[in-house]
């Protein structure tokens, strides 16, 4: 069977199964199975697959039909124009989180201290450091398995020691200093919404997605505890659910922050920017 034929077969199967982007998914999985860049499928490389390549491709397609995310099938996900290794121990980086990185890069002063709380794959911390080598970057996560992934990504993309990783709950490993900017993409989905989400979500680590109190519990803790870890004019940047703008403005103001909520590139409220006043 030729490459073009197996791509056509998989895309047809994915379309019937209701999988979004069936052609793209088919191309990515076939390219991964045969060891090609996806764009090479469009420049005349329409050879016959070897038996082992065909078996590998069909195994990947079967897993995709079970709604396992493509990023876990290939072990790769692009974020902020960088390629990250991902597995089921970490949340898959999403395009809307790039706004969090943009704001961190902009608001961290020259030579400043930046912290990424709940780093997961390390995507935010690594992207910030990659863009701003002057910034000293620390990152925390409660999951040691997630930190294994984050360290692997940092070593490959930046080199060893560029980002300092710490295991612990939120700010607990960082009691020793105050940061100019703290950013977090915390779990903010309500447990009650799990049944209504895309099937792919079931493969991602639940502790990185879901939070008690309608998805608000971890955000509440971040806002309440951040003041003790921010420099005088520091900023706290948190990714939020699209229905949380009023909530974060209220709790941010109660904690002594001025709060702005920015829309992501799809036009949805996505990131809360909280700034301390002088002496706050």
pTM of the model: 0.93
Containing domain of residue 103, as a range?
88-276
Establish if 201 belongs to a structural domain. Answer: yes
The residue among 14, 12, 9 whose CA lies nearest residue 65 is 14
Q: What is the CA radius of gyration of the chain?
A: 21
DSSP 2: B
Could you read off the pLDDT of 46-89 as tens digits, one per residue?
Answer: 788 899 999 999 999 999 999 999 999 999 999 999 999 999 99
pLDDT at 265: 84
Domain co-membership, 52 together with 125: no
Calpha distance 217→267 (Å, rounded): 25
Domain co-membership, 34 together with 154: no
- Mean of the per-residue pLDDT values of the chain: 94
| Number of domains observed in the structure of the chain | 2
Establish if 77 belongs to a structural domain. Answer: no
pLDDT at 280: 44
Calpha distance 271→245 (Å, rounded): 9
| DSSP string computed for 9-39 | HHHHHHHHTT-SSHHHHHHHHHHHHHT--GG
In sequence order, the β-bridge partners of residue 181 are 114, 235
Domain co-membership, 38 together with 121: no
Could you read off the pLDDT of 235-271 as tens digits, one per residue?
Answer: 999 999 999 999 999 999 999 999 999 998 889 999 9
The residue among 158, 160, 113 whose CA lies nearest residue 139 is 113
């Amino acid at each position: 069977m030729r490459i073009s034929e197996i791509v056509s077969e998989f895309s047809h199967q994915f379309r019937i199964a209701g999988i979004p982007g069936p052609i793209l998914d088919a191309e990515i999985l076939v390219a991964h199975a045969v060891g090609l860049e996806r764009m090479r499928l469009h420049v005349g490389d329409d050879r016959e697959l070897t038996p082992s390549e065909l078996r590998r491709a069909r195994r990947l397609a079967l897993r995709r039909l079970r709604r396992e995310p493509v990023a876990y099938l290939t072990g790769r996900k692009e974020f902020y124009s960088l390629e990250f290794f991902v597995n089921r121990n970490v949340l898959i980086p999403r395009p809307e989180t790039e706004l969090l990185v943009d704001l961190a890069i902009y608001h961290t002063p020259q030579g400043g201290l930046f912290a990424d709380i709940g780093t997961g794959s390390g995507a935010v911390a690594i992207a910030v450091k990659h863009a701003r080598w002057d910034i000293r970057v620390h990152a925390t996560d409660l999951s040691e398995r997630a930190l294994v992934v984050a360290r692997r990504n940092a070593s490959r993309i930046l080199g060893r020691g560029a980002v300092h990783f710490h295991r612990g709950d939120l700010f607990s490993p960082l009691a020793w200093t105050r940061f100019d900017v703290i950013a977090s993409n915390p779990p903010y989905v309500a447990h009650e919404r799990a049944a209504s989400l895309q099937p792919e979500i079931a493969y991602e680590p639940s502790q990185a997605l879901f939070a008690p109190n309608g998805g608000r519990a971890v955000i509440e803790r971040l806002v309440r505890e951040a003041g003790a870890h921010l420099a005088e004019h520091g900023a706290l940047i948190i990714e939020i659910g699209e229905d949380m703008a009023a909530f974060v403005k209220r709790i941010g103001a109660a904690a002594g922050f001025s709060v702005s909520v920015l829309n992501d590139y799809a036009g949805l409220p996505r990131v809360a920017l909280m700034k301390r006043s002088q002496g706050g």
